[in-house]
Amino acid sequence: MSIATPPSPLGGDWKPWGERLNKFLTATRNKLQFRDAEAKATEDGIIMWDAVQNAVVVSKNGAWVKLKYDP
């Protein structure tokens, strides 16, 4: 298994590098992960999608808390 390596910045023009980096991150990183029954809130600030609650949840003080937002 190979490890994906992000593009290195080259030269003084950062815009092409930023575009390549964005394309790399989009292609190699997961979207919002789904929370299942076994997901543990082991540290604060983990964001997941909870399909049962049909909402985004965040880990806080060892528990999953539904985010309140106005769609």
Residue 60 domain-assigned (yes or no): yes
Residue 71 domain-assigned (yes or no): yes
In terms of residue numbers, what domain contains 64?
Answer: 31-71
Long-range pairs, 11-17, Cβ under 8 A, ≥24: none
Residue 46 domain-assigned (yes or no): yes
* C-beta of residue 23 within 8 angstroms of C-beta of residue 10: no
Residue 8 domain-assigned (yes or no): no
Residue 37 domain-assigned (yes or no): yes
Total domains in the fold of the chain: 1
Q: State the pLDDT confidence band at 65, using cuts at 50, 70 and 90.
A: very high
Q: What is the pLDDT of residues 10-57, one digit of tens each?
A: 888 888 888 888 888 888 877 778 888 888 888 999 888 998 888 899
Question: Is the pTM for the entire model greater than 0.85?
Answer: no
Residue 4 domain-assigned (yes or no): no
Residue 13 domain-assigned (yes or no): no
* C-beta of residue 48 within 8 angstroms of C-beta of residue 33: yes
